[in-house]
Amino acid sequence: MNRLAREFYRQDVISVARGLLGKLFIRDAGGRLLCGRIVEVEAYDHPGDPAAHSYNGETKRNRVMFGDGGFLYVYFIYGIHHCLNVVTGHPGEGKAVLLRGLEPVRGIEEMSLNRYGRKISNDREYLNLLNGPAKIAKAFKTDLRFNGEDLCNGDFYIADDACPESFETAVSPRIGISKGKEMHLRFFIKNSPFVS
DNA sequence: CCACGGATTGGCT
DNA sequence: GCCAATCCGTGGA
């Protein structure tokens, strides 16, 4: 797999968000590959973005967001869930892209075990496997221990799809936020059934 | 020290 | 459509 290089992540956050659509998010789980095609993301564009975790400056929780591009920012939310972000830009910028929806590609049975505790048994479970940020984290068995993982050097990475399908990119406001609702920073593949 | 709320999900009405 | 689950980081006293 051709792992994306650091410079991809060091672009502005909106370019990275758009550029991530159609790419493959991969975890090497002890030699077994878990893989999904990215179909939905959201950009968090510090400064000036009240929905970004980095809005009020660097803290212990968001410190990875303020590091270099190409690292994984994992956060814990609602006492139950984890969500995965890709840090973009350069040290000090505080920008990241949230992974919101993936199309299952590889390691589907293992991801299903992680999510449902068993194999997928119908179409609904297949469509719902990775169509939400916390679903992705659960299917990839990813928690706070992986906060700060380097996507350019380690078990988590992003790669170009060897046989990319053409698609149209759609834009909308972000989901689930209370501030910054007017900003159109959610990007997704139009007509993908794997969007949340 | 304590109180609050969150970039969500799944189950129930 | 509504709501509970469940906990840690954060900010104010």
Q: Which residues touch strand B (CB under 7 A)?
A: A 42, 44, 51-54, 65, 73, 75-81, 83, 85, 96, 98, 115, 128, 132-135, 174-178, 196
Mean pLDDT for A169-194 is 96
Mean pLDDT for A9-21 is 98
Give percent of chain A with pLDDT exceeding 70.
Answer: 100
DSSP character for A5? P
Quickly give A84 CA vs C9 C1' distance in Å: 17
Quickly give A164 CA vs B5 C1' distance in Å: 41
Residue A88: predicted pLDDT: 98
Does the C-beta of A78 come within 7 A of strand C?
A: yes
Mean pLDDT for A87-110 is 98
Residue A1: predicted pLDDT: 72
Average pLDDT along chain A: 96
3-state secondary structure (DSSP) of residue A29: strand
Strand segments, DSSP code E, in chain A are: 24-29, 32-45, 72-77, 81-88, 95-106, 156-159, 169-172, 186-189
Asked if residue A108 lies in contact with residue A33, where contact means CB atoms within 8 angstroms, the answer is: no
Amino acid at A136: I
- Match 């892209």 to its residue by tokens: A97
How does residue A104 score in pLDDT terms, banded at 50, 70 and 90?
very high
Quickly give A7 CA vs B1 C1' distance in Å: 45
